[in-house]
Amino acid sequence: MTASGTAGAADVCIVGSGPAGAILAASLAGRGHDVVVLEAGPRFAFESRTARMDRALRPEHDDLDVWDMGGPRDRYTSSGPYEYDLNRHRVKGIGGTTLHWGGMTPRLHPEDFEMETRHGIGRDWPISYEDLEPYYLRAEEAMGVAGEPNRFSGPRSGPYPLAPAESSYSDEIFAEACSSLGIELVPKPLAINTEPYDGRSQCVGYGTCSPVCPSGAKYDASVHIRKAEERGARVVTRAPVQRLEHDDSGERVVAAVHATPDGDTRRQRARQFVVACGAVESIRLLLLSTSPQYPDGLANSSGVLGEYFMEHPGGGLVGRVDEPTRQHLVGYGTSMCEQFYDHDSGPEGSFLIDFGNNAGPEPIDLALEQLSDSGRIIAGDVLAPFEGDPWGDALQERLSEEYGGYLRCNGWVEQPPRRENKVSLDPSKTDDHGNPVPDLTLSFDGPESVILERVRDLCREILEECGATEIHGHWSPDDPYVGSHHMGGIRMGRDPAESIVNAELRAHDLSNLFVSSSGVFPTCGAANPTLTIAALTLRLADHIHGRLSDG
């Protein structure tokens, strides 16, 4: 690539337009600051979402097709014991992975910030739940979270902005069984509108929330990119940042060097820089930004950049009951259980239980795999199942029999941070710009394997109480499902010798470089990370605004 110039200096340059980058850009631009956002991927037209839903439903497409993932741009390797599917649930483009997410938004619990002090696990966060709580509330308002306070979560200073979703029919079956077992279910907090909110419609029931919401009722970060642009921010798409450059002293970042679609490069200057492109790509960008002062990666004087990476392992059990369960009327479950989100029974870790609303074989799979005419369907003869049954009554009856009586119970487990779980660079494989790709080394053979066994047993007990039979599911402690929640690797802390950023998310080594990502989490709890990312970002926005205002 050839250099093609240097853009004028902005107040803030943000790398990435997912929830962190988008919310930060909207907040700072709204307070009069000159903001530039550099996004590696494209801008997706809202009108394309019905077509993307169609891709999600058709068997000739896979998960990557929905949001145009895959290929040289998105290469990675997985060299650890666990074969990690990095691209399965991530998106590169305006809105980032919130275009694909399920919308679940629980808060971390107060003890999650003090795991070293309380249980000798990992390192304490340099901030407390009380420090973050008002920003949790602001994040819920910004995203439009529908929920209801419950006694198992941390204290709140205000209500949710929206009432919780009405309990699904299948969740009512679970509620009765759990009540008999002394297990308390609570409404699942979801960034999905239960009524019109912030210019977006309420949920209309497409049922494909993950991977795509055609109505826009589910929050995604394109909402805040739009707000940021309305407030004057400049958003540059198809501009993957290749490296960050610092001054001669190594104390300040001076430019973000990004590629352009025509093969050139440009340098974006700014007073403050924020890396907000997801945990894995944020780690990778810092590792790629080497110099004589930082031979092991920018801001990596501690040598721990990329280490202590974490995920949420888990699994699901499915059982069949002798009654309709009305699955997939909406694309999300409405209830969860935080009752076991504690360490009273030992230091293995905490966990969440939630309940799927799409259990059992997919109707498409039934049509393709079980009907005698499946080959003709694949060949394009969509009328094959209806021959001799022009109204499709027999097919509907069969689908009802095969699909209508399933229940799913899921569990998600905290993974304690371990140094050997990490993101590094693989120089043997490169992306479309010739840069080493990220390599993930991950295993689940620590304390989380013990708690996974416990969660599996609890899910089985709940399903049996529901009267379910034929209980089955993939649940192996050494080969679990993962939540595709990328956390750690750029951890925050007070000690520069063992962390990358401080309590304000500023790199210990540089005075104007910040990271806003779940990569900064010192420990991960069992709660989905997106709401905490948003809360940390709003806190960071206040901090950067203060710095810029002070000159």
Token pair for 391: 């109204």
How would you label 459-479 residue by residue, b for 16+ Cβ within 10 Å and e otherwise?
bbebbebbebeebebebebee
* 1-72+90-146+211-299+485-551, CATH topology level: FAD/NAD(P)-binding domain (3.50.50)
pLDDT in tens, the chain (551 residues): 344 577 779 999 999 999 999 999 999 999 999 999 999 999 999 999 999 999 988 878 888 999 999 999 999 999 989 999 999 889 999 999 999 999 999 999 999 999 999 988 999 999 999 999 999 999 999 999 999 999 999 999 999 999 999 999 999 999 999 999 999 999 999 999 999 999 999 999 898 999 999 999 999 999 999 999 999 999 999 999 999 999 999 999 999 999 999 999 999 999 999 999 999 999 999 999 999 999 999 999 999 999 999 999 998 899 999 888 887 767 888 999 999 887 665 556 789 999 988 776 554 444 444 445 545 454 555 556 566 666 667 766 666 666 668 899 999 999 999 999 999 999 999 999 999 999 999 999 888 988 899 899 999 999 999 999 989 887 777 789 899 999 999 999 999 999 999 999 999 999 999 999 999 999 999 999 999 999 999 999 999 999 999 87
Give the pLDDT score at 347: 54
**Sequence-distant (≥ 6) Cβ neighbours of residue 293 within 8 angstroms:** 246, 250
pTM higher than 0.85, yes or no?
yes
Is residue 540 classed as helix, strand or coil in its secondary structure? helix
User: DSSP letters of 173-204?
Assistant: HHHHHHHHTT---EEPPBSB-SS-BTTBPPP-
How would you label 368-405 residue by residue, b for 16+ Cβ within 10 Å and e otherwise?
eeebebbeebeeeeeebbeeeeeeeeebeeebeeebeb
Give the pLDDT score at 8: 79
Give the pLDDT score at 396: 65
Give the pLDDT score at 432: 96
Contact between residue 438 and residue 284 where contact means Cβ atoms under 8 Å apart: yes
Residue appearing with tokens 């951890």: 491
Token pair for 421: 């779980």
User: DSSP letters of 85-149?
Assistant: -GGGG---STTGGGGTS--B-PPPPGGGGGHHHHHS-S---SS-HHHHHHHHHHHHHHHT-B---
Cα three-residue angle 308-314-215, rounded to 5 degrees: 100
Token pair for 195: 């009524």
Is residue 152 classed as helix, strand or coil in its secondary structure? coil
Contact between residue 21 and residue 541 where contact means Cβ atoms under 8 Å apart: no
Question: How many CA atoms lie within 13 Å of 67's alpha carbon, on the beta-carbon side?
Answer: 26
Calpha distance 83→85 (Å, rounded) = 7
Token pair for 288: 């790629």
Give the pLDDT score at 363: 47
Pairing of strands 264-275, 2-15: parallel
Listed residue (405, 364, 354, 402) closest to 385, CA to CA: 364
Calpha distance 76→71 (Å, rounded) = 10
